[in-house]
Amino acid sequence: MTPPDNSRRKKPMNSEPFHVRFKNVQKSYDGLTLVVKDLNLDIGKGEFVTMLGPSGSGKTTCLMMLAGFESATHGEIVLNGRPINNIPPHKRGIGMVFQNYALFPHMTVAENLSFPLAVRKMPKDKISQKVGQALEMVQMGEFGDRYPAQLSGGQQQRIALARALVFDPELVLMDEPLGALDKQLREQMQFEIKHIHQQLGVTMVYVTHDQSEALTMSDRIAVFNDGIIQQLASPDDLYERPENRFVAQFIGENNELGGTVDAIDGDIARVTLDNGDKVSALAVNIEGAGARTMLSIRPERVIIDPDESRVPQAIGGLVKELIYLGDHIRCRMTVAGNDEFIVKVPNAPGNRRLKVGEKIRIGWITEDCRALDAA
């Protein structure tokens, strides 16, 4: 892969700490309901931020407002310290890749790429050099003379990516760019996009509903639901330290146990589960003693037959179903009335084989059990 030519990359005009800032942004299409509610988000220069959420959560609307394709109803979007409305479209330095933002069908690949360069006072030989580099970057160096219709979906998407990068934008926006590709190609492109980001140091804002895509590529992920950012955090924080029930459920696999808070002692909540079992959990997002809570425990953090001196408590569970998956056994249990409780038992030496119908003891360390809102 040829390293890109960064020598002409323009330095930002000022030393704003943030490349992009959403400030109290609201969006309404009908004047009655807000699809984006009071959004605040700062994106650093060179950062890869993913807006992740179910459809209708407001993530694409936010990207469209940043792209200038929609206007904010209230609030302000600031780019390099300037309100985006005060910057004409051609001066924003934004490259875009959208799933449904197709290549121009009547131009060859090379023409598609040279279109954004055509009149930046760039000499013709320089243009063809830039086009060549951008094509190399997406491993499509041989395809300059083809027309889009002669390319596969994956190849077209690579060209769209090259077109977004060819004029050295400072900011690249992508809306589900891999949505139409099959799983294998999608995973390959995820790594390529991640590598290109590392190589170029551009700021990337990526929209997807696919959490594994978000976890693979992002520096930080903004989890959207109902027009609100539920949590903004690095992938590991998001998975290991979800701050509310929505995030815990949306990111990765999650076990929930409902209960009532008996007492809070510093960081630790004592909780009575709905079947009467008493457990302790990390107090993350609960109102106080007497409040309902939903405990969140990841399947790989549940310990079978725990050494009861090492865990705060153990409770009983009934094995309902076992699925052998090679490296681990997936065990579905009934625990405190929840019969969809999943435990991933590593296929490790010394781990005993469970049997369906067996009653076992399970436990966890307090930090792995998070007491969240019951909303």
Partner 1 sequence: MLIAHISDPHVAGPGKKAYNIAPTAENLARCVEHINRLEPRPQVVLVTGDITSSGAAAEAENAAQILQGLRFPFYLVPGNHDRRETLWAVFGGQACPSRSAGFISYAIPGYDLHLIGLDSTAPGAPGGKIDPQRADWLDEQLARCAAKPTVLFMHHPPVKCGVLETDEDGFEGVALLGKVIARHAHVQRILCGHIHLEAHAAWQGTVVSTAPSTGMQLVLDLTMTQPSAFVLEAPGYQLHYWTPERHLVSHTVYVRDVDGPYLFEEYPEEKGEPK
Residue ranges binding partner 1 (CB under 8 A): 26, 28, 30-34, 68-71, 73, 88-92, 96, 101, 104-107, 111, 114-116, 118-121
Classify strands 48-52 and 203-208 as parallel, antiparallel or unpaired. parallel
Q: What is the CA angle 111-117-121, rounded to 5?
A: 130
Measured CA to CA in angstroms, residue 276 lies from 123, 242, 246, 302, 315 at distances of: 77, 26, 25, 20, 11
**Tokens 């865990």 -> residue:** 311
Q: Which helix (H) or strand (E) holds 235?
A: helix 235-240
Q: What is the CA angle 222-225-226, rounded to 5?
A: 135
CB of 132 to partner 1, least distance (A): 17
Cβ–Cβ < 8 Å for 57, 149: no
CB of 34 to partner 1, least distance (A): 5
Q: Give the separation between CA 214 and CA 207, rounded to whole angstroms.
A: 8
Nearer of residues 65 and 229 to partner 1, judged by Cβ:
65
Q: Give the separation between CA 267 and CA 204, rounded to whole angstroms.
A: 36
Nearer of residues 11 and 121 to partner 1, judged by Cβ:
121
Nearer of residues 65 and 269 to partner 1, judged by Cβ:
65
Nearer of residues 91 and 278 to partner 1, judged by Cβ:
91
Nearer of residues 7 and 33 to partner 1, judged by Cβ:
33
CB of 90 to partner 1, least distance (A): 3
CB-facing half-sphere around the CA of 280: CA atoms within 13 A: 12
CB of 375 to partner 1, least distance (A): 19
CB of 125 to partner 1, least distance (A): 14
Q: Give the separation between CA 120 and CA 88, rounded to whole angstroms.
A: 15
CB of 148 to partner 1, least distance (A): 11
Nearer of residues 32 and 348 to partner 1, judged by Cβ:
32
